[in-house]
Amino acid sequence: MTPDYASLPLVDPAGESGLVAVARKRYLLRLLVGRELNARYSGSFLGLLWSYFNPLTQLFIYWFVMGKVMGLGHRTEHFAIHVFVGLIGVHFFNETFNASTRSIVRNKAFVKKMALPLEMFPVSSVVVSLFNSAPAVLILSVVCLFAGWTPDWVGMASFLLAVAIMITVATGFGLIFSVANVLFRDIGQLVGILTNFVRFSVPMMYPFSKIAENFPNHIDTYLANPLANVILLMQRAFWVGTTSDPETVLHEDFPHHLMEHGLIALATGLVILVIGQVVFSQLVNKVPERV
């Protein structure tokens, strides 16, 4: 019993909601994230080591098949690194998109019986994916160092900007699709199809110069996609430093005003985030009865 009970305010028992409430309940968020991370490798003998094997084998496959078998490596220096950088970003986005879309439905038991801000679930999916991406970024850094990369300030800034864009875009989409998936279960299927496009909408399997060369009039359209900017910024952070002539590469394989484009992409991401929150708040009342 709270002392001084009468002085407490009468409040809505559903409590506050929204991303602000999630930020305030960090302890609960931490428990939910920890739960996901533990569940992922629990019971497996090698545990966390698996999260290193997966990106390493992918790096090898891309280096061998695309570089050696298909011979794509001749025109783009350190092609495997170029692909790997893209892969990390694309993989992060797709994993988050899939996981957050299913997050509320997966936590049915919780949603039906406990009062907590439901934004908690898509947000924890994003945080979990961030943790899952860390090993791949670590491997990338080591590989790049061996390939002659020296970290630079502009590169680091590019990387941080890329991460910020990615978080806003992924969280925004996560909010919209997690709640939509409760109301229309078809959304889960749709997300599977959408993620197929992501891989090819960013400069990963091809350098940006190919777009500039083949679609000179549509560069702005291409760069309107925040994810394309994310990958370009990540290429700037890691891949450029491994090439023999970074100056030329920067001129040929990147759009002019890369940072400005990145900031515009961040603004786009913030807009997506705001829209996501608005849509979520509109639909969330129907969730406990429909999930």
- Binding-site ranges for other proteins (CB under 8 A): 1-2, 5-6, 8-15, 25, 27-28, 31-32, 35, 38-39, 42, 107, 109-110, 112-116, 185, 285-286, 288-290
The minimum distance between CB 288 and other proteins, in angstroms, equals 5
The minimum distance between CB 25 and other proteins, in angstroms, equals 8
Residue pair 254/230 in contact by the 8 Å Cβ criterion: no
Among candidate residues 196, 48, 18, the one with its CA nearest the CA of residue 123 = 18
Nearer to other proteins, 69 or 114 (CB): 114
Nearer to other proteins, 16 or 213 (CB): 16
Both tokens assigned to 104: 């509320």
The minimum distance between CB 13 and other proteins, in angstroms, equals 3
User: H or E stretch including 290?
Assistant: helix 287-290
Per residue, what are the HEC states of 100-160? Answer: HHHHHHHCHHHHHHCCCCCCHHHHHHHHHHHHHHHHHHHHHHHHHHHCCCCCCHHHHHHHH
The minimum distance between CB 73 and other proteins, in angstroms, equals 43
Nearer to other proteins, 8 or 69 (CB): 8
49/44 Cα distance (integer angstroms)? 10
Nearer to other proteins, 251 or 286 (CB): 286
Nearer to other proteins, 32 or 144 (CB): 32
Nearer to other proteins, 115 or 145 (CB): 115
260/176 Cα distance (integer angstroms)? 27
The minimum distance between CB 273 and other proteins, in angstroms, equals 23
Residues contacting residue 230 through CB under 8 Å, at least 6 positions apart: 89, 93, 162, 165, 166, 169, 202, 265
The minimum distance between CB 279 and other proteins, in angstroms, equals 17
